[in-house]
Chain A
């Protein structure tokens, strides 16, 4: 079964809310059926066909071409299948997804994978703010799944995340893992300030030096076994240039915190050897 191909022929003037561009909505539909699916162009109801040329019947395997920086919510609530985006993507990609895979070959903007509970999102370029974060007001962010950003990401990565794995190949902005409940964030570049502010449990790993908040306390230098397993797996997912043997076999400085919360979180900084 060949993939469903969507090609952006008209750039939307204002952001397009396209939660229907997801295997959950288009599987089993005809070309015409997909073109008639509803999207919101600003506050105006529009059809997929107004912006995209559709080739092939609806399958769980979707390829989307074009600069989708203004197209939001692609892959919403998907539980299976694959979405490949040949270009940039807009906000809320993979919102509420519980399974399947999204591959973004360009950059992503803010809010990658909010409310995610499973599956994988891979961004080959950079991502914006709030990767895997809780929406404002929510007490928990993502509850599972994997988000791999090969480039850099901005502020508040994994805000209030509860489970899951976020890996950033490049640098991270400020407030990484703010209010984190549990889960793992691995940053292979530099981190901004105030990492782990208000974190309860969970692990933040960074390969570079970083400023640590005064509410974190140095515990020890050691070689965590779980991290070795995580890094080997990440190497298989395209991070082989960023992760060397010294990262896999090296030791890490462990800081525990945040003392203003439960103090059961940890920041692991690579010791350089």
Chain B
């Protein structure tokens, strides 16, 4: 007998289908939204409640060796935040980098039903798939780091764009990734070769390869477009956190040449001012460019005050942060593929740069003209834990609260922004866009982020409250694939989400080209590198749309 559920009389926010707070019923059968259900269907009376699709985190760091390194680096953080088991859920530890089980459950308790791990070197993907499988409730996928890949650079240097495209497709297929991720393109090559070197200009030559970061970015965007990946290259620009980095950010966006590109944690790349001097806000220029160019999507990477952990594939950045905060840190090299750095961090109201970053993030949100393309994230755990999302939503929806918060931060930094003059308040519909419909569209997830017929039945039901932080902190019901996972604020059952991945088509001859490179430079055998399908566990292939 099919499982059927009816959510009756809720106030529905479904921006993808132009439903803005209309009172209507939702019918669910076998994990999908349908037109109608039989009279025997179980029923949730959502009268007076707010119904939204399950939220989607487009950029977070929740699984894999680098996350594990951070967990191991901070035992003191876990001790203070134990996540006990319940009758239906498993135990774990919380803190700024929670364990796998706690990550899944905690996302669910805030109404999130999908989360995308944003940076995975291909050689560590096996571990990531296993950890994602152990991250309950949410659907998940990951972006594979290819932007500092030695073999791909070699192909680009030789001008072999066709093979370059085939190789990207081979890598995405081999590790079961969702899309490609570029991080501080070109810099890891310099970092590994010369002491404390970094890329400062996207038109600089990358050592040994005679190509520029701008050219690499452009080539990736072009290849992803031709392969028809559901989500375009996910780009962490050069010069993160350096004063005046708006010029590299703008140059990178221009390199897209009108094709789709996603700019990750754009706040960290919106610094005005001059190099090596105190930064000022460059949010206006960045957001103006994004507003005018429909091919660009971005997530903000908002900084929230309190504990965070810098966790990045950008090794030179980790070195820079280490020199700001002389505390424990990790820097690692990932063979021919990437770098890595981890530093426990905390953002403080009294510090100029921290306040500036906080204000810049809010400026980007409040000056964005198209909520479909400027999405909510804190780059968990880089700008703060994902557990801060409800507070961030309150900052966006309540200008009085925002003005109050402005009183308690570094005023010199505030003076460098236009935040005090921004009175915009996000509506519930816009919140539904930046946390649900927008990320789904940017990710190319046709069955998520909306409540139309045929969509996955990932639904959150909130009791409407004046205090938006409280409201978004504790949904009354969370429904995942038609199963009521959270009922009256309590876990009613455990649930296992799927791994989302894409399978771009390619010519298998490319493998013969890649194999000798492996034998020469890698620590693993070529035949052991590609990950077999059984590591995928429960999974869903998201279709690609290749251009001929």
* 13 intermolecular pairs with C-beta atoms under 8 Å apart: A135-B75, A135-B76, A135-B79, A136-B75, A136-B76, A137-B73, A137-B74, A137-B75, A137-B76, A137-B77, A138-B76, A139-B327, A139-B328
Which residue of chain B is the closest to A134 with respect to CB atoms? B76
B77 neighbours in A (Cβ, 8 Å): 137
B74 neighbours in A (Cβ, 8 Å): 137
B170 CB to closest chain A CB (Å) equals 41
Of A136, A137, A138, A139, chain B has the most CB atoms within 10 Å of the CB of: A137
Of B76, B77, B79, chain A has the most CB atoms within 10 Å of the CB of: B76
Residues of chain B from 34 to 82 with CB closer than 8 A to chain A in the complex: 73-77, 79
Which residue of chain B is the closest to A139 with respect to CB atoms? B327
Q: In whole angstroms, how far apart are the Cα atoms of A136 and B76 in the complex? A: 7
Interface residues, chain A, with chain B CB atoms under 8 Å away: 135-139
A136 neighbours in B (Cβ, 8 Å): 75-76
B76 neighbours in A (Cβ, 8 Å): 135-138
B314 CB to closest chain A CB (Å) equals 24
Q: In whole angstroms, how far apart are the Cα atoms of A138 and B78 in the complex? A: 11
5 interchain residue pairs of minimum CB distance: A137-B76, A137-B75, A138-B76, A136-B75, A135-B76
Q: In whole angstroms, how far apart are the Cα atoms of A139 and B73 in the complex? A: 12
Q: In whole angstroms, how far apart are the Cα atoms of A136 and B77 in the complex? A: 10
Q: In whole angstroms, how far apart are the Cα atoms of A228 and B538 in the complex? A: 71
Contact mask for chain B residues 309-334; partner A; CB cutoff 8 A; 1 contact, 0 none: 00000000000000000011000000
B97 CB to closest chain A CB (Å) equals 12
Q: In whole angstroms, how far apart are the Cα atoms of A135 and B328 in the complex? A: 15
A95 CB to closest chain B CB (Å) equals 11
A139 neighbours in B (Cβ, 8 Å): 327-328
Interface residues, chain B, with chain A CB atoms under 8 Å away: 73-77, 79, 327-328
User: DSSP majority for the A interface?
Assistant: loop
Q: In whole angstroms, how far apart are the Cα atoms of A96 and B75 in the complex? A: 17
A138 neighbours in B (Cβ, 8 Å): 76
Q: In whole angstroms, how far apart are the Cα atoms of A139 and B74 in the complex? A: 10
Q: In whole angstroms, how far apart are the Cα atoms of A12 and B470 in the complex? A: 43
A135 neighbours in B (Cβ, 8 Å): 75-76, 79
B79 neighbours in A (Cβ, 8 Å): 135
Which residue of chain B is the closest to A140 with respect to CB atoms? B76
A24 CB to closest chain B CB (Å) equals 18
Supply 11 further A-B pairs (C-beta < 8 A) apart from A135-B75, A139-B328: A135-B76, A135-B79, A136-B75, A136-B76, A137-B73, A137-B74, A137-B75, A137-B76, A137-B77, A138-B76, A139-B327
B71 CB to closest chain A CB (Å) equals 11
Q: In whole angstroms, how far apart are the Cα atoms of A139 and B326 in the complex? A: 11
A153 CB to closest chain B CB (Å) equals 23
A137 neighbours in B (Cβ, 8 Å): 73-77
B87 CB to closest chain A CB (Å) equals 15
B70 CB to closest chain A CB (Å) equals 12
B328 neighbours in A (Cβ, 8 Å): 139
B327 neighbours in A (Cβ, 8 Å): 139
A116 CB to closest chain B CB (Å) equals 16
Which residue of chain A is the closest to B78 with respect to CB atoms? A137
Q: In whole angstroms, how far apart are the Cα atoms of A31 and B79 in the complex? A: 32
Q: In whole angstroms, how far apart are the Cα atoms of A28 and B84 in the complex? A: 29
Which residue of chain A is the closest to B73 with respect to CB atoms? A137
Q: In whole angstroms, how far apart are the Cα atoms of A97 and B74 in the complex? A: 23
Which residue of chain A is the closest to B75 with respect to CB atoms? A137
Which residue of chain B is the closest to A138 with respect to CB atoms? B76
B81 CB to closest chain A CB (Å) equals 13
Q: In whole angstroms, how far apart are the Cα atoms of A150 and B178 in the complex? A: 63
B91 CB to closest chain A CB (Å) equals 10
Q: In whole angstroms, how far apart are the Cα atoms of A139 and B343 in the complex? A: 14
A3 CB to closest chain B CB (Å) equals 32
B73 neighbours in A (Cβ, 8 Å): 137
Q: In whole angstroms, how far apart are the Cα atoms of A178 and B77 in the complex? A: 21
Q: In whole angstroms, how far apart are the Cα atoms of A194 and B328 in the complex? A: 22
Q: In whole angstroms, how far apart are the Cα atoms of A137 and B79 in the complex? A: 10
Q: In whole angstroms, how far apart are the Cα atoms of A98 and B446 in the complex? A: 57
A93 CB to closest chain B CB (Å) equals 17
Q: In whole angstroms, how far apart are the Cα atoms of A136 and B328 in the complex? A: 12
Which residue of chain B is the closest to A136 with respect to CB atoms? B75
Q: In whole angstroms, how far apart are the Cα atoms of A138 and B77 in the complex? A: 9
Q: In whole angstroms, how far apart are the Cα atoms of A136 and B73 in the complex? A: 10
A101 CB to closest chain B CB (Å) equals 26
A92 CB to closest chain B CB (Å) equals 11
B212 CB to closest chain A CB (Å) equals 41
A80 CB to closest chain B CB (Å) equals 24
Which residue of chain A is the closest to B327 with respect to CB atoms? A139
Q: In whole angstroms, how far apart are the Cα atoms of A139 and B75 in the complex? A: 11
Which residue of chain B is the closest to A135 with respect to CB atoms? B76
Q: In whole angstroms, how far apart are the Cα atoms of A137 and B70 in the complex? A: 11
Q: In whole angstroms, how far apart are the Cα atoms of A138 and B79 in the complex? A: 11
B240 CB to closest chain A CB (Å) equals 26
Which residue of chain A is the closest to B72 with respect to CB atoms? A137
Q: In whole angstroms, how far apart are the Cα atoms of A157 and B74 in the complex? A: 22
B502 CB to closest chain A CB (Å) equals 39
A105 CB to closest chain B CB (Å) equals 30
B287 CB to closest chain A CB (Å) equals 38
A206 CB to closest chain B CB (Å) equals 29
B75 neighbours in A (Cβ, 8 Å): 135-137
A84 CB to closest chain B CB (Å) equals 28
A184 CB to closest chain B CB (Å) equals 24
B484 CB to closest chain A CB (Å) equals 29
Q: In whole angstroms, how far apart are the Cα atoms of A137 and B328 in the complex? A: 9
Which residue of chain A is the closest to B76 with respect to CB atoms? A137
Q: In whole angstroms, how far apart are the Cα atoms of A138 and B75 in the complex? A: 8
Which residue of chain A is the closest to B79 with respect to CB atoms? A135
B284 CB to closest chain A CB (Å) equals 39
Q: In whole angstroms, how far apart are the Cα atoms of A139 and B328 in the complex? A: 9
